[in-house]
Amino acid sequence: MSGIPIRVELPAHLRTLARIRGHEVALDVHATPTIATVLDALEAAYPMLCGTVRDQVTRERRAFLRFFACQQDISLDSPDAPLPDAVANGSEPLIILGAVAGG
Amino acid sequence: MTANGSRVRLLIGTRKGAFILTADASRKKWEIAGPHFPGWEIYHLKGSPADPNLIYASQSSSWFGQIMQRSEDGGKTWTPAGNKFVYDGVPGTHQWYDGTPHPWEFKRVWHIEPSLTHPDHVYAGVEDAALFHSTDGGQNWDEISGLRTHTTGSAWQPGAGGMCLHTILVDPTDPKRIVIAISAAGAFRTDDGGATWKPINRGLISKHLPDPTAEVGHCVHHIAAHPLRPGTLFMQKHWDVMRSDDAGDNWHEVSGNLPTDFGFVIDVHAHEPETLYVIPIKSDSEHFVPDGKLRVFRSRTGGNDWEPLTQGLPQSDCYVNVLRDAMAVDRLDACGIYFGTSGGQVYASADAGDSWKAIVRDLPPVLSVEVQTLT
């Protein structure tokens, strides 16, 4: 259990959908911070985001989104792997990023 | 419906947001609000006939998936509704483009059809083709799985735009009778509220099929019906404009003298059940109007005899398309006709098609047009 809010940076369209001001949200994650537990906390706090980052049934990451932390692409890591210490202690955000597209 | 005090509200879905256009009954001066949901694809918006200020919208994105939105104030403000669309049971497979089995995968909501009588009851037609229903204002969605699990379901194939359920017609005299259409499976009807379905494609001829008269596999683009004659259906198929007078049991071609019978939209005049509108498109590989001329064709005889309507529409160097859900008619005495183009223009006629005016010219590509006639 972290006890420290986990910072999550969201794409602009999801911030608009969830009416979030600023680039980040701070989430209380009542479990070891992992991609899965952080997304659980995100969806609990903002139910309108259910299905927008991961599939509601398979819980797989949507294909055009990536997860970054501490300058690393952790999209292909296990969703149950502990996030880096810098994310767990709140000094770095977990970044959810939309793939660049549009030519 | 008399004009005194009436207003019309157009609900426009585009590739990059929704727009709401309003006017009084003269339909001369329009106010344009939007974009709502900027940057998102809005496949369809539709208001509840039972509560016109209640509007449902399908908002989707390749990045973020499907969102359903709901407005209770005529589209001024919106609240996300439920977006969990899960196929009933083990979905199984349909056929992919190459004929191999492909798992059923939910992609997006193409068409929303609110109940005629219950504001919180609403159908959703989705890709991969299935029909969903909500009885709580869109918070929860359940599949009406008797359609997808029809014995022919495993043989359905997508059209070029995906395997979408795009047309939902609920019989105003018998809500248990529903006609739907799927590209490229064809048309289906239930007479028992969705428990059982039957293909209604007899009379359709599709030369791209090994058996051109097959029971399923036809690329139906849109179906329309007049509310007072729910048993008479008009269809714009991939190629061919078709008519049925027995709720789809049998079809015959009414393309008549159209310059091309390929197209997407078809609609019926609000007060004249035998007056139809189509917009011919050059071909299945050239999705624009023929000869650089944007022409609506009207038949006052239920098909076969068609007249071009051109006044106010561009008659040179025009190469737009008009998609299947992008035409609507209002219910004022002088019936208004509306359509939106791939070029972002929305055209309106306040005189049943005799003359037209672009009421907005530079929206993103238009995916859908609906109109509400408000008193």
Token match 């809010």: residue? A5
**Token representation of residue B252:** 């015959």
Sheet strands side by side (includes A6-9):
A24-27, A6-9, A94-98, A65-69, A72-73
Domain count for chain B, please give it. Answer: 1
Name the pLDDT band for A47 (thresholds 50, 70, 90). very high
All residues of chain B having their beta carbon less than 8 Å from the beta carbon of residue A17 are: 64, 67, 80
CA dihedral B42, B267, B32, A12 (to 10 degrees): 0
* Res. A30 pLDDT band, cuts 50 70 90: very high
3-state secondary structure of B348: strand
B141 within a domain of the structure (yes/no): yes
Mind telling me how many Å the CA of B286 is from chain A's nearest CA? 24
Mean pLDDT of successive 10-residue stretches along chain B, which has 375 residues? 81 98 96 97 98 98 97 98 96 93 96 97 98 98 97 93 96 97 97 98 95 96 97 97 98 98 98 98 96 98 98 98 98 97 98 98 98 96
The answer to whether residue B150 sits within a structural domain is yes
* Sequence letter at residue B289: V
For residue B120, give the 3-state DSSP assignment.
Answer: coil
**Numbered residues of chain A with Cβ closer than 8 Å to any chain B Cβ:** 11, 13-14, 17, 48, 50-53, 55-57, 62, 64-65, 98-99, 101
The whole-number pLDDT of residue B322 equals 98
The pLDDT mean for chain A works out to: 94
Question: For residue B256, how many other CB atoms are within 10 A of its CB?
Answer: 14
Decide if the complex's ipTM is over 0.90: yes
Assigned domain for B121 exists = yes
CA distance A98 to A90: 22
Residue B2 in contact with partner chain A when CB distance is under 8 A: no
Q: Does a structural domain hold residue B101?
A: yes
B64 lies within 8 A of chain A by CB? yes
pLDDT of residue B239: 96
Model confidence at A103, in pLDDT bands (50, 70, 90)?
A: low
Q: Which domains does chain A have, with CATH numbers?
A: 6-98 (3.10.20.30)
Reported confidence tier of residue A59, pLDDT bands at 50, 70, 90: very high
Distances (CA, A) of B265 to A101, B51, B87, B313: 31, 26, 29, 17
Residue B178 belongs to some domain of the structure: yes
pLDDT score at B5: 80
Q: pLDDT value at position B1?
A: 65
**B84 domain residue, yes or no:** yes
Q: Identify whether the C-beta of residue B279 lies closer than 8 Å to the C-beta of residue B322.
A: yes
Q: Do B65 and A51 touch (CB under 8 A)?
A: yes
Instruction: Please count the residue pairs, one from chain A and one from chain B, whose beta carbons lie less than 8 angstroms apart.
Output: 39
Confidence at residue B89, expressed as pLDDT on a 0 to 100 scale: 93
CA angle B69–B55–A17, rounded 5-degree value: 20
In chain A, residues with a C-beta closer than 8 Å to the C-beta of B62 are 64, 101
Shortest Cα distance, chain A CAs vs residue B80, angstroms: 6
Say if residues B57 and B42 touch (Cβ distance below 8 Å): yes
Q: How far is B246 from chain A (nearest CA, A)?
A: 41
Which run of H or E residues covers position B13?
strand B7-14
pLDDT score of B159 = 87
Residue A101 has pLDDT above 80, yes or no: no
CA-nearest residue to A46 within chain B is B80
Specify the pLDDT at position B2.
59
Least CA distance to B40: which residue of chain A? A13
Does residue B166 belong to any structural domain of this protein? yes
- The CATH number given to whatever domain includes residue B79 is 2.130.10.10
- Amino acid at position A102, single letter: G
Establish if B39 touches chain A: CB-CB under 8 angstroms: yes
A1: pLDDT confidence band, cut at 50, 70 and 90? low
Q: Does residue B330 belong to any structural domain of this protein? A: no
Q: What's the CA gap between B30 and B28, in Å, rounded?
A: 7
Mutate to test the interface with A, among B60, B63, B139 (most CBs of A within 10 A): B63
User: What is the extent of the structural domain holding B122?
Assistant: 44-56+63-192+214-218
Chain-centroid distance of CA B297 in Å reads: 18
**Phi then psi dihedrals of residue B80, to 5 deg:** -60, 135
**Is the Cβ pair B83, A51 closer than 8 Å?**
yes
pTM: 0.96
Separation of alpha carbons B255 and B234, rounded Å: 11
Judge contact between B50 and B118, C-beta under 8 A: yes
CB B254 within 8 A of CB B237: no
